[in-house]
Amino acid sequence: MTRKPVYLAVYDTLADWETGHTTAYLARAGYEIRTVGASGAPVTSVGGLRIQPDATLDDVRPEDGALLILPGADLWDTSDELAPFARKAREFLAADVPVAAICGATAGLAREGLLDDRAHTSAVSFYLAATGYKGGDRYVDTDAVTDGKLITAGPTEPVAFAREVFGLLGVYEGEVLDAWYRLFHDSDAQAYAVLEAAGQ
């Protein structure tokens, strides 16, 4: 089966550890991971990785993709430079195409008004409250939240973030999804047997 690509937003100071589980296992499941920058210029992650974007925001159309992933980055909190990525997320959600945001990207979505009417999470509630958004009553104090086609997670939950993505896209389901999470989040050796039996 041909799958539409997954778009991974990339920008300077991106938190490179937050999406590694997600992209690695999506690629194993047959998804092409395409990096998307504001321009075609290389960016440097907070960990010093230099990334050459495959495409620019202007090139990306929601109907061509399976998912838009927005990692955290220092720039989400220090300037408006990443606001175009939040606007692109609005386009994806309006087209009923999933968006997954973690860490500082959740603040970007809050500023864009995308969390006002959706259940969501982040690092802590007061972090999002500082954006002045109107969705405080929809904040859920948990590891990761899926509301419709939007996934949110805090910076310490890359494995839960991946779990929600896999569940939404149907990459893993049921006990296999639970086992994957237990293996990578809890180092549960018994979960490995479940994955092995499922051919994972």
The catalytic residue among 26, 103, 123, 145 is 103
Distance CA 85, CA 39 (A): 12
Mark whether 103 is an active-site residue. yes
Rounded to the nearest 5 degrees, what angle is found at the Cα of 121, between the Cα atoms of 97 and 106? Answer: 60
Distance CA 14, CA 112 (A): 19
Which of 6, 5, 12, 16 shows the shortest CA–CA distance to 103? 16
Distance CA 116, CA 132 (A): 10
Name the pairing type of β-strands 33-37 and 6-9: parallel
The two tokens of residue 7 are: 């778009």
Residue type, 114: L
Q: Give catalytic residue positions.
A: 103
